Amino acid sequence: MKSNSFNILAAGFLDGTIALYDNKSKYAKREFVKDNNSLLINLFTPDNEYYMIAGYESGDIKFWDMRNFKDPFKSFKILDGNVTSIDSQDCGKLLIGGSLDSVKVMNFTGDEISHINYDGLLGQRLAPVSCLSLHKYKPSLAVATTDAFMTVYSGNIKG
């Protein structure tokens, strides 16, 4: 993910490492490992060019200040373990996580907006979530499962 203001490129790796590269030089600006879980998402926040969000397979969401990588300044769990996919929507400041049996939508402060359980119909278990995506501007969500089905959820925003 590229930060517009500073020409910084962030790359996340399966071992939990995040490397920041300055496009003006050939070397990593900073590199750190804070979690032994696989990184699923890495993005910059629209409100502050120094802030970066990392989402991990363990369900942890961590907010980092790129000027100081000692500890995240905010963190919360989107789901408990075995998270298969995480996505975000900047304009609505939403994060979504999918796991083997559920999908959860949260805002950037960690408050739960919605929770969809994949318990199945008449005792039949549905397949695990393989990928998901939020529409960039609308309250719409597409969820695909490992059995090649896709479901689109849409909501109304009152206000």
Confidence bin at 53 (pLDDT 50/70/90): confident
Average pLDDT rounded to a whole number, residues 120-148: 80
Average pLDDT rounded to a whole number, residues 129-133: 89
Indicate left, alpha or beta for 110 from its phi (over 0: left) and psi (-120 to 50: alpha). left
- What does pLDDT average to over the chain? 78
Q: What is the pTM of this model?
A: 0.79
14 pLDDT more than 90: no
Out of 15-24, 33-42, 70-79, pick the least confident: 33-42
Dist. CA 13–CA 158, nearest whole Å = 39
| pLDDT of res. 52 | 83
Dist. CA 75–CA 82, nearest whole Å = 18
Report the share of the chain in percent with pLDDT over 70. Answer: 77
Q: Which of these, 127, 123, 129, lies nearest to 105 by C-alpha position?
A: 129
